[in-house]
Amino acid sequence: MADSKYLVGVFDDGDELLHAVEDIRHQGVKIHEAYTPFAIHGLDKALGYSFPRMGVAAFLFGITGTCCALLLTFWTMGVDWPINVGGKNFFPFPTNIPIVFELTVLLAAFGMSFTFFFMEDLGPTSKPIIFDVRSTDDKFVLAIDLAKNKLSENEISKLLKESGASEVNVKEI
């Protein structure tokens, strides 16, 4: 049963796709997603994506790591089982910096990875939609959700052809 219907424009060249994205968006057509074999410089800006706020996630996970490490070392070294090391304080601050640093980096790295997997729906159970399998090889693919656009199928198809698509297919999912 076809829930939604997509128009799939296939391009031979990355630059053509980039210009097509700009032209088509200029006509007020909403683009579902672009699929390319490799990263194309400036495509994210052309698609109108805002800069990802991964840095915020990294900061929050990192600061969590810092706090956890401080708490861990403080509890184990300072409170629960104090050990006299070379006559120093039971909770000498500099000694704890390496573990604080390591846990900050660890939590920030893991947190960012899992945030990315979660947000992009990547993982063992996710089933990615492949609009055209050649987009993993040498073709540049543009998917447009017809339900979300006011223009008719023919008009969008014509737009895609005009902006350089070598073929336009229909994909129902």
Partner 1 sequence: MAHSTHEIPSTEERFEFKSETKRNLIIAALIGVVMVAIGSFLLSKGWSIGVWESHGGEHAAVGHESAGHGEHGSEHGVTLFARIIANIWMNSVYFLGISIVGAFFIAYNYIAKAGWSSSIKRVAEAMPSFVIVPGLILIILMALPSTRHIVMHWTHDGIMNPSSEHYDKIIAGKAWYLNLPFYFVRLIAYIVVWYFGWKAIRKYSLLEDEMGGLENYYKGRNASKLFMVFFAVTASTSAWDLSMVIDTHWFSTMFGWYHLASWHVAGLATMMLIILLLKDQGYLKIVNESHLHDLGKFIFGFSVFWTYVWFSQYLLIFYANLPEETIYFRERFTGFQGRYWWPFHISLVLNFFFPFLILMARNSKRRPTFLKLGSVSVIIGHWFDFYQMHMPGIAKDQGGIGIIEWGTTLTFASLFIYFVANELSKANLYPKNHPFLEESMHHDI
Which of 39, 41, 123, 127 touches partner 1 (CB under 8 A)? Answer: 41
Which of 14, 37, 78, 92 touches partner 1 (CB under 8 A)? Answer: 92
Q: How distant, in Å, are the alpha carbons of 119, 153, 173 from that of 144?
A: 21, 10, 13
Interaction pattern, residues 44-83, with partner 1; x per rule: CB under 8 A: -xx----x---x---x------------------------
- If residue 64 lies in a helix (H) or strand (E), which one and from where to where? helix 54-73
Which of 88, 148, 158, 161 touches partner 1 (CB under 8 A)? Answer: 88
Q: How many CB atoms lie within 10 A of CB 106?
A: 15
105 forms part of the interface with partner 1 (CB under 8 A): no
Q: Could you say which DSSP state residue 39 is in?
A: -
Q: Could you say which DSSP state residue 29 is in?
A: P
Structure tokens at 41: 């410089």
Rule CB under 8 A: which residues touch partner 1? 18-19, 22, 41-42, 45-46, 51, 55, 59, 86-88, 92, 94-95, 97-98
